[in-house]
Amino acid sequence: MPVLPGAEPYHRDEGPVGVLFCHGFTGTPQSLRPWAEHLAGAGLTVALPRLPGHGTTWQEMSRTRWEDWYAELDKTFADLLGRCAEVFVAGLSLGACLALRLAQVHGAAVRGVVAVNPSLTVDVPLLRLAPVLKLVIPSVAGVAGDIKKAGATELAYARTPVRAAATLPRLWSLVRSRLDLVTQPLLVFHSPDDHVVKPTSVRLLRERLTGGNLTVVELADSYHVATLDNDAGEIFAGSLDFIRTHASVPLQRD
């Protein structure tokens, strides 16, 4: 299946510290590429894979599930870990949920996590019905493109494949049930004015992560896809400072 122009994965080898980026549900690497390029320019080795079923057609995505997306990230994480002294993971929306799952599974092998508007629970009421809707309709209206910045666009599907969406509740439940395993430093960027993910997910993190490893930064001038929005620069700079603080080896440019 041909990949949409701009939806290609991005990889760049620089220094001994690696960052695995995880894009969101129905999105593409395009939403995180400027962020990945910024960190690569600072001397980090970065990997931004395209998740299975994404960046082609929603019909193809309909044949995938969360386990497929996680498997791609897990494979890329193993590759990075084999080439870098240590690895951080970063994600947007559902990609942030998958990043937290990587942290739960791999423990100390994940040096730290950066999450932008993480999705940990059902925020779109229609998705609550996905397990039943998948038997009736193949897709519903998409959730992409929630950006405040004029002229900025997200490369993502205009339709949400219901069969793929129906697999999300199990992932959300799994990640929420094991938040106690997330002991790594966690930096969360949160847009209060988010029309896709409600504040519930960040509230859950604040309630469950009480060990002092959680930092939440509010983004006052961005919607959901904050990595392409007005506060993108704050995310780029803040995540770089976070990685410099928690990395045990110097970055290539330090």
pLDDT tens-digit profile of 157-169? 999 999 999 899 9
Q: What is the pLDDT of residue 252?
A: 73
Return the minimum-mean-pLDDT range out of 65-74, 183-192, 245-254: 245-254
* Tokens linked to 153: 């666009």
SS3 per residue for 26-76: CCCHHHCHHHHHHHHHCCCEEEECCCCCCCCCHHHHCCCCHHHHHHHHHHH
Band (pLDDT 50/70/90 cuts) for residue 48 is very high
How far, in Å, CA of 91 to CA of 112, rounded? 12
How far, in Å, CA of 214 to CA of 42, rounded? 24
| pLDDT tens digits for range 90-114 | 999 999 999 999 999 999 999 999 9
Q: What is the pLDDT of residue 131?
A: 61
Rounded to 10 deg, the angle between the 168-177 and 94-106 helix axes is 50
Contact (Cβ atoms closer than 8 angstroms) between residue 144 and residue 158 = yes
Q: What is the pLDDT of residue 128?
A: 61
- 177 in catalytic set: no
Q: What is the pLDDT of residue 43?
A: 96
- 93 in catalytic set: yes
| pLDDT tens digits for range 113-127 | 999 999 999 876 656
- 194 in catalytic set: yes
Q: Is the pLDDT of residue 7 over 90?
A: yes
Q: What is the pLDDT of residue 126?
A: 59
Q: What φ, ψ does residue 81 adopt, rounded to 5°?
A: -65, -30
**Among the options 224, 229, 231, 239, which is catalytic?**
224
Average pLDDT, integer, range 23-33: 98
Q: Is the pLDDT of residue 137 over 90?
A: no
**Among the options 23, 31, 54, 93, which is catalytic?**
93
How many alpha carbons lie under 13 Å from residue 201 in its C-beta half-sphere? 29
* Residues 196-226 as b or e (16 or more Cβ within 10 Å = b): bbeeebbebbeeebeeeebeeeebeebbbbb
Q: What is the pLDDT of residue 142?
A: 87
Amino acid at the residue 154: E
Q: Is the pLDDT of residue 133 over 60?
A: no
**Among the options 146, 194, 229, 231, which is catalytic?**
194
| pLDDT tens digits for range 196-209 | 999 999 999 999 99
Q: What is the pLDDT of residue 141?
A: 80
| pLDDT tens digits for range 241-252 | 999 999 998 887
| Tally of helices (H runs) and strands (E runs) in the chain | 9, 9
